[in-house]
Structure 1
Amino acid sequence: MTERDDLDLQIAEFVLGTLPADERDALRAQREQDAALDRRIAAWEERLAGMADDVAPVAPDPELFARIERLLDQGAPAAPQADADSSGQVVRLNRQLRRWRWSTAVASAAALVLVAVLMLQPEPAPSSFVAVFQHNDQQPAFLLTVDLEQRRLNIRPVTAQAQPDKSYQLWIKADELGPNPRSVGVLGQNLELDQGALSGYDPALLREATFGISLEPPGGSPTGQPTGPAIHGYLYPAGAEKN
């Protein structure tokens, strides 16, 4: 693999969110000083931007802010009473100081409560996973995203192109499925696949499975097994660090 190809893979993982934290921080710092690197990262961000369409947004708990307000109301002291006998500039300054201290205390309490409530929220298990398919020293050919919760997939070509009189075919292999890979489906002319092709598989099986893509005769393998070498990919949580 050339140094350029290795950097491209690192950039792809940076954009996907699967690069380890130390490498991600180093690449982010280098990006700020290197205009050429910044352009390459921006190009990968544009290339992979469509993958975000497959990740469902996670809304905060609708009760979150209501709970914060209730906690603030429970801990708020009574407002200071105005001194009917007070007058003059010194008294007004004292009142302003008390109001400033009170507003600062409320703001600090709100921030602390918000942090506490957010820390107590259970961290959701990742449902969106991604696999990168690369052959030898070439750049990534395909990217596969899988929503395990919905058991839906989306496969996108990166550098792969449709081949005349050939078809790309996606395979899955897992111990539970036996010793041989099983066909997921044949990619169409636009190198796409039915998003529901994995609907019959258990999410736990998909998480541990190996995926492969092979180049087959038109319409797919005539034997039910890959007829040539396949490029392989493994699922990693999107937005999480690799172990």
Structure 2
Amino acid sequence: MSEDVIPTGDDPDVAAAELVLGLLEGEERAVALRRVLAEPGFAQEVERWRQHLEPLFEIWPEVAAPPGMMERLDQALDGPAAPRRAALLRTGRLWPGIAIASSLLAAGLLLVVLVRPTPPVPTAMPPKRQPVATAPARMLVASIDPSVEGKPVTAVYDPVSGGLRLTESALADADRSAELWVIAGDGVPHSLGLLHASGGSTFMVTGDNRARLVAGATLAVSLEPVGGSPSGSPTGPVVAKGVLSQV
């Protein structure tokens, strides 16, 4: 990892890296996402970590565990049968047997960590296997950077609720409105609404636009007549844009 990315100082703030790596849960994750909205510097740090770590996932792509891996882990966790343990006690080979079983277990757990993108949540082993719950959809974040000098606008989108929140925007003047657009794979801009000049903006995304707000989609801001574009397409210059990415 390059030195320009690693946080420095006596008390480094690693929350941005932990958020990108998926290490934060519950209230810690909620606090970090609120910081993304409230602190432009922290939002930029999250984006820097995401860009720095993203190539690592391409180097080690997700692969399926080898056949029989879970059965071997179950067997290692259950331990050898009672008669076998008694025989080892009688022959004085109990501790070597435990060492071998521990080595197999450690190797198996290491393989699971390497082939999975994120560590599994530890749970008690149930008597019967239960269906694994579907992981919640991950938040999407974009730093919408002005084409000229100015303060970037941070956008956070929740795919579950459809809520889209943006920090305060100063991209338009009193004679024009700043309109937000999403550009997905079809390359066609679709309006999401007008940005407020102060206090931030909140949208409830509905209809087809929810399917367009995915990782890799572009958020762009154009300057339009007061009240928004009269044609349903951008009519003024694009003054800022950014790409959505998962955190």
State the TM-score, normalizing by the size of structure 1.
0.51
The answer as to 2:34 corresponding to 1:50 is yes
- One-letter code aligned to 1:113: G
The answer as to 2:99 corresponding to 1:104 is yes
Instruction: Specify which of 133, 142, 145 is matched with residue 144 of structure 2.
Output: 133
The CA RMSD over aligned residues, in Å, is: 4.8
Residues 170-203 of structure 1: per-residue CA shift (max 9 Å, x gap): 112357364xx33111235632232324x41474
Instruction: Specify which of 72, 76, 81 is matched with residue 76 of structure 2.
Output: 72
| C-alpha displacement of 1:104 | 2.9
Structure 1 Cα separation of the partners of residues 199 and 226 of structure 2:
14
What are structure 1's unaligned runs of at least 5 residues?
Answer: 1-21, 54-65, 84-93, 239-243
Q: Match of 1:145?
A: 156
Query: Secondary structure at 1:101's aligned position in 2?
Result: helix
What are structure 2's unaligned runs of at least 5 residues?
Answer: 20-27, 38-69, 119-134
Query: Secondary structure at 2:178's aligned position in 1?
Result: strand
On the 8 A contact 2:179/2:192 being kept in 1, the answer is yes
Query: Secondary structure at 1:111's aligned position in 2?
Result: helix
| C-alpha displacement of 1:150 | 4.4
- One-letter code aligned to 2:186: E
Residues 78-101 of structure 1: per-residue CA shift (max 9 Å, x gap): 214444xxxxxxxxxx95xx4443
Structure 2 Cα separation of the partners of residues 72 and 209 of structure 1:
45
Q: Match of 1:13?
A: none
State the TM-score, normalizing by the size of structure 2.
0.50
Q: Structure 1 residues 103 and 145 mapped into 2: Cα distance closer, same or farther (>3 Å)? A: same
1:19-58 pair list within 5 angstroms? 22-23=1-2, 26-28=4-6, 31-32=7-8, 34=9, 38=12, 49-50=33-34
| C-alpha displacement of 1:142 | 1.2
On the 8 A contact 2:178/2:194 being kept in 1, the answer is yes
- One-letter code aligned to 2:85: A
Give the number of aligned pairs: 182
Structure 2 Cα separation of the partners of residues 221 and 26 of structure 1:
42
Look at both structures and tell me which one has the larger radius of gyration over its CA atoms. Answer: 1
Residues 146-166 of structure 1: per-residue CA shift (max 9 Å, x gap): 45x648353331x63597856
Structure 2 Cα separation of the partners of residues 111 and 200 of structure 1:
47
Q: Match of 1:211?
A: 219
The answer as to 2:154 corresponding to 1:170 is no
Query: Secondary structure at 1:27's aligned position in 2?
Result: coil
Q: Structure 1 residues 139 and 112 mapped into 2: Cα distance closer, same or farther (>3 Å)? A: farther
Kindly indicate which of the two structures has a greater share of residues assigned to helix: 1
The answer as to 2:199 corresponding to 1:190 is yes
